[in-house]
Amino acid sequence: GEDVEQSLFLSVREGDSSVINCTYTDSSSTYLYWYKQEPGAGLQLLTYIFSNMDMKQDQRLTVLLNKKDKHLSLRIADTQTGDSAIYFCAESIRNSGYALNFGKGTSLLVTP
């Protein structure tokens, strides 16, 4: 599929907020997702947002969606060292059974 774009790296200090940005491609995507991948592991679904929403908050996570610009962001409040991982943005692919089109991932490093 076409590219879902993410910045490759982000470094923050423990306790600060992290913001990971994503630009997606398909304006008809029903759901947009954020996944987390730790070294050597599979993908963990963090949160998702329905395309008719602008914002979703889930504990330390806040997702913002700008449909006009096809821009999605994930804010992690009070970032901890355990949040260090790769974060993937994904959109659903309507003509493939709602399978997922992923970005290349943003590597988040949280320093003490």
Partner 1 sequence: ETGVTQSPTHLIKTRGQQVTLRCSSQSGHNTVSWYQQALGQGPQFIFQYYREEENGRGNFPPRFSGLQFPNYSSELNVNALELDDSALYLCASSLPQRNTEAFFGQGTRLTVV
Residue 9 in the binding site for partner 1 (CB under 8 A): no
Segment interacting with partner 1 (CB under 8 A) among 10-18, 27-35, 60-68, 69-77: 27-35
CB of residue 56 to partner 1, shortest distance in Å: 12
- Strand 85-93 to strand 31-37: parallel, antiparallel, or no bridges (unpaired)? antiparallel
CA distance 60 to 77: 5
Q: Which of 32, 49, 40, 50 is nearest to 88 (CA)?
A: 32
Structure tokens at 68: 């006009």
97 touching partner 1, by CB under 8 A: yes
Return the range that interacts with partner 1 (CB under 8 A); candidates 10-18, 28-36, 55-63, 76-84. 28-36
Q: Which is nearer to partner 1, 79 or 101 (CB)?
A: 101
**Beta carbon nearer to partner 1, 82 or 112:** 82
**Alpha-carbon Rg for the chain in angstroms:** 13
In angstroms, the CA 103 to CA 112 distance is 28
- Work out whether 39 is an interface residue with partner 1 (CB under 8 A): no
CA distance 7 to 86: 11
d(CA 50, CA 101): 16
Report how many residues bind partner 1 under the rule CB under 8 A: 26
Residues of the shown chain interacting with partner 1 in the complex, contacts defined by CB under 8 A: 1, 4, 31, 33, 35, 41-45, 48, 88, 90, 92-93, 95-105
